[in-house]
Amino acid sequence: MKITVNTLQTMAAEGRKISMLTCYDASFASLLDGAGVDILLIGDSLGMVMQGRDSTLPVTMEQMEYHTRCVAQGSKNAMVLGDMPFGSYQESPAQAFANAARLMQAGAHMVKIEGGAFMAETVRFLVQRGVPVCAHIGLTPQFVNTFGGYKVQGKSESDAERIMADARALADAGASMVLMECVPAVLAKKITEAISVPTIGIGAGLDVSGQVLVLYDVLGVYPGKKARFVKDFMAEAQSIQGAVSAYVAAVKAQTFPAPEHCF
């Protein structure tokens, strides 16, 4: 069954967990699709895991467009979610639409943008023009230089209130999903209960609508430092297909993330 925005909304309303993994090529897209992954995210994480960069900032629109086209070719049922890279949407809503249109024409069904309430106008502009949006809040990797590193967000009361306000503003602007990265599980639960669209967590606890991880982390092949929220599903699997299927099953059964993966 083809996964659509309506499918995700229904899954969240019924308490059926959504599984998402990053994906960058047609072969893995086919494998992940066959294993039942609901959403394939062409993440700008490719800058780190594929290109060996120390951040996502150098990734270009041309690269995102290329990898989105590859993933779309290999996917049949999963939703294809394309990341908007650094510098491709921050200038103006019109700039964001022009670049989002490129990803949609390459095969994306939705685009993801980073940033809080200040991006609400851009989200509304895109949605009104036929571009579904996944908002990304909490730890937003494109802001790594502002944050001073990859740190948990929302630990203080004021920071938690700001992130909650971000989630509300973006959902009210028409975002179809809100992805929360590296926020305390208690905060992620409150946000999930407060907004009417599905929430996706990465390092955000169990009480969200679904989970996402970087594919290379799931397979235990990324040589960089492992984040607390990562689990190597390949360690106990007999094949890549088995590792991906185990991840999907763990998300659906709510056995991942475990307490040791949460903040």
Whole-angstrom CA distances from 70 to 38, 96, 155 are 17, 22, 38
- Residue 38 annotated in ligand binding: no
Q: From CA 104, how far away is CA 189, in angstroms rounded?
A: 31
Amino acid at 112: K
The full length of the chain comes to: 263
- Residue 44 annotated in ligand binding: yes
Q: From CA 148, how far away is CA 168, in angstroms rounded?
A: 26
Q: Are 175 and 197 in contact (CB under 8 A)?
A: yes
- Residue 83 annotated in ligand binding: yes
φ, ψ for residue 110 (rounded to 5)? Answer: -160, 155
φ, ψ for residue 229 (rounded to 5)? Answer: -80, 0
- Residue 236 annotated in ligand binding: no
Q: From CA 41, how far away is CA 163, in angstroms rounded?
A: 23
CA Rg value for the chain? 17
- Residue 114 annotated in ligand binding: yes
- Tell me which residues are annotated as active site: 181
SS3 state at 42: strand
φ, ψ for residue 204 (rounded to 5)? Answer: -130, 20
Q: Tell which residue, 112, 32, 16, has the closest CA to residue 78.
A: 32
DSSP per-residue letters across 119-149: GHHHHHHHHHTT--EEEEEES-GGGHHHHTS
Burial class for 239, CB neighbours closer than 10 Å (0-12, 13-18, 19+): exposed
Could you tell me which residues are annotated as the binding site for Mg(2+)?
Answer: 44, 83, 114
Could you tell me which residues are annotated as the binding site?
Answer: 44-45, 83, 112, 114
Could you tell me which residues are annotated as the binding site for 3-methyl-2-oxobutanoate?
Answer: 44-45, 83, 112
